[in-house]
Structure 1
Amino acid sequence: MGRLILGDCLSVFPSIPDGSVDLIVTDPPYLVNYQDRSGRSIANDQNDDWLVPAFAQMHRVLRRDTTCVSFYGWTKVDLFFDAWRKAGFRVIGHIVFNKGYASKSRYLRYQHESAYLLAKGNPPLPAQPLPDVMPWEYSGNRLHPTQKPVGALAPLIESFSRPMDIVLDPFAGSGSTCAAAHQVGRRYVGIEIDPVYHANAVRRLDALAPKAAA
């Protein structure tokens, strides 16, 4: 039901035709040079050279009147907004995921994740709109340092696409978007630059294949 490509999304995008994708759900680097307690890091998290061209390509490959769900780094939200607007996206919603735990504590306890809902054109309204505050379960981050839970992504994919639509994640990480797309009966294309995370995602998605055949 899908493909997971090893490579830099900016190198892969030219092979994806205009208007061939029905939904994008992605968790790009937050531009914060993140490193977890075990020393794992994320490619291109220390610079924003890729940000504007990547979102321009995302806008190109999406069909008209569709959506993109993008997580973002809140300390760099100005750079993300600039990239989204330059690409031609229109902001149509903001989603907060409520964590039952703190991922970090400094001046505040960090207990939420957030994403913007972006539009290309005028997407149709969903029959039953999701709330803009949604639950979040800890993924364990076993396969990737910022691994997103499938349970948080699946409702978004179900709400903003139709069965057998193509869902793209150009920063696929551990493959959570791809796994969520598979779970709700969508096709997927994932792109991941890091060979270790790509291999983790491939094993994860391969494990889902027997369920599809059963």
Structure 2
Amino acid sequence: MIQYENKLIHGDSLTVLRQMEPESVDAIITDPPYGINYVSQTGARIKNDTAPFIWFLYDAFRVLKSGSSGRRTLVCFTRWDVQQVFIDAIRLAGFVVKSEVIWDKVEHGMGDCKAQFAPTHENIIFAVKGKFSFPGHRPNDLITHRKLHANQMVHPTEKPVPLLADLITAVTKPGDLILDPFAGSGSTLVAAKKTGRRFIGIELDDDYYQTAQRRIEEAVT
């Protein structure tokens, strides 16, 4: 386990998770493929995005600490139309779903501009393993951070580092070990480093792995 701390691992999340020690991380904060065949305005796609990627959840539950030994939380991004699939799978894996957190993105996205309300939010599932209490004050279930503009993004579904930093500080303490099995461009890992947490990231895509590695190295604590 020690060789994984504060590292980004290039590989398949399922393979790496199965090699990790049980009850070894304090929190999992991640943005898995939603299973919506997402295509950005520039044509970029996400690997393994043909169906909601729920297969990591059993091992996610296994590697989280239990008892009084850690924070024991899962923070999982999703979207309204696949959210129930993720909630059902999270519960089947053994977690207790405690909250739906809403990320207010301030500016709306695209979607069906003639027959769909303009989407200005994204859904986040908060679940726990065993007994849990917030390390600080009780956070609100609405978090407002302006989404990144397309010309700022290095990954098609990139989340703002300040948003992830807020989530991290709400559910963990400095020094806790955070796992992101779908690291993408490394935003969660950068936020972990900036907030004084240890981290493990896993990323399959070669280009995003390189980008994430560079961002982590450049991040200032």
Q: Residues 31 and 73 of structure 1 are in contact (CA less than 8 Å); yes or no, is this contact kept in structure 2?
A: no
Structure-2 residue corresponding to 1:133: 142
Q: Residues 90 and 120 of structure 1 are in contact (CA less than 8 Å); yes or no, is this contact kept in structure 2?
A: yes
- Confirm or deny that 1:153 pairs with 2:164: yes
- Equivalent AA in structure 1 for residue 66 of structure 2: R
TM-score, scaled relative to structure 1: 0.92
Among candidates 20, 28, 34, match of residue 32 of structure 2? 28
CA distance in 1: counterparts of 2:73 and 2:102, whole angstroms: 17
Structure-2 residue corresponding to 1:87: 93
Aligned residues: 208
Structure-1 residue corresponding to 2:210: 199
Structure-2 residue corresponding to 1:182: 193
SS at match of 1:154: helix
Gaps of 5+ in 2: none
- Equivalent AA in structure 1 for residue 91 of structure 2: R
Query: Over aligned residue pairs, what C-alpha RMSD do you find?
Result: 1.5
User: 159-168 vs 98-107, which deviates more?
Assistant: 98-107
- Confirm or deny that 1:172 pairs with 2:183: yes
Task: Report deviation, 1:126.
Answer: 3.6
CA distance in 2: counterparts of 1:76 and 1:99, whole angstroms: 19
Q: Residues 137 and 151 of structure 1 are in contact (CA less than 8 Å); yes or no, is this contact kept in structure 2?
A: no
Q: Residues 168 and 189 of structure 1 are in contact (CA less than 8 Å); yes or no, is this contact kept in structure 2?
A: yes
Gaps of 5+ in 1: none
Task: Report deviation, 1:114.
Answer: 1.5
Task: Report deviation, 1:47.
Answer: 2.5
Q: Residues 154 and 184 of structure 1 are in contact (CA less than 8 Å); yes or no, is this contact kept in structure 2?
A: yes
Q: Residues 79 and 122 of structure 2 are in contact (CA less than 8 Å); yes or no, is this contact kept in structure 1?
A: no
- Confirm or deny that 1:97 pairs with 2:108: no
Runs of 4+ off more than 3 Å: none
Between Structure 1 and Structure 2, which shows a larger proportion of strand residues?
1
Identity of aligned residues (%): 38
- Confirm or deny that 1:108 pairs with 2:105: no
User: 24-33 vs 62-71, which deviates more?
Assistant: 62-71
